[in-house]
Amino acid sequence: MLALLTLTLQMRKYAPIWDQLKKTGRCKIANIPADRVARIVQAVRKEKWRDLGFKYLQAEAGRDMRLDVKVDTELDTIEFYLVDANNTITVESLGG
């Protein structure tokens, strides 16, 4: 007899942040306790690192997407950005 294996996909805790980053290129989170900031940043970086499909698609397009983070301790917010590390500004691109 064949045994059927049922897989249940569970949403990882920080996956919704990574999903929004992929869709819009930025994600802002508010009301973050100061002691959790480093953990959240590390977890989102891990989500990016684990997403092989995203890496493959970006490599095909000739992009190297970098995850930038802006932390505002006064407002208790974290803002994530996806930035193309290969995108450099030249005088020609500015029309000069």
Q: What is the pLDDT of residues 35-50, one digit of tens each?
A: 999 999 999 999 999 9
pLDDT of residue 77: 93
State percent of the chain over pLDDT 70: 80
pLDDT of residue 19: 93
Quote the CA–CA distance of 83 and 37 in Å, as a whole number: 20
Q: Is the confidence at residue 5, as pLDDT, over 70?
A: no
pLDDT of residue 7: 54
Domain ranges within the chain, ordered by starting residue: 15-84
pLDDT of residue 31: 93
Identify each DSSP E strand in 1-96 by its residue range.
26-29, 65-72, 77-84
